[in-house]
Amino acid sequence: MTGNGSLGFGGGDRRSAHRRGVLGQAPFVTLVLGISVTVLGLTVVWFCAAIPLGIAAVVVGVMANRQGVEGRHHTRAVLGTVAILLGVTGAAFMPRLPTRTNAALSNVENDVTADIEMIDDSVSSDVNRIDKSIARDLSALESSLRMADQSLVRELSSLEARVDALVRKVGL
């Protein structure tokens, strides 16, 4: 009981207990790293951080597996591998993103320009049709006013002739 380590007080047992305690945390560390770097791998800005942290998750999972720690650390290390793949995929597609974005925005710009031109043509056509209709209506009104003016001139001439005849009769 005094130093032979039979009750766990010896140096060898302490080191193995410490080792089991540290390695006992490996599955949890692997899980936390795996989940966090998978989330980072899905983000647009932090995908590059997913690669080294994913490697760390895989290394911790493999170390725990080699040390014989019980748990699902090998399954959790798969999350690290997924994060590495997401990071590499993000790194591969990120340089192409500005070109594809510019192409998409150019297509949208062309579509909007075509729509504006179509609307402009339609509005111009409508305005021309309205102008022709107004011009036709004004021409008809002008013709009606001319006829009314001529009729009024005739009526006034007739009235003037009757007034002159009445003035002669009365002798004024």
- pLDDT reading at 79 higher than 50: yes
What is the structure's pLDDT at 163? 92
d(CA 141, CA 23): 101
Each residue of 8-55: pLDDT tens digit?
A: 444 455 555 444 555 566 667 777 777 777 777 777 667 777 778 788
Could you tell me if 79 and 40 are in contact, meaning their C-beta atoms sit under 8 angstroms apart? no
For residue 78, give the H/E element and its range: helix 73-93
Residue 77 near residue 61, CB atoms below 8 Å: yes
Number of alpha helices (DSSP H) and beta strands (DSSP E) in the chain: 5, 0
C-alpha–C-alpha distance, residues 145 and 150, integer Å? 9
Greater pLDDT, 96 or 141: 141
Distance CA 117, CA 102 (A): 22
- φ, ψ of residue 118 in degrees (nearest 5): -65, -45
Q: Are 76 and 61 in contact (CB under 8 A)?
A: yes
| Structure-model confidence comparison of residues 143 and 34, the more confident one | 143
Q: What one-letter code names the amino acid at 28?
A: F
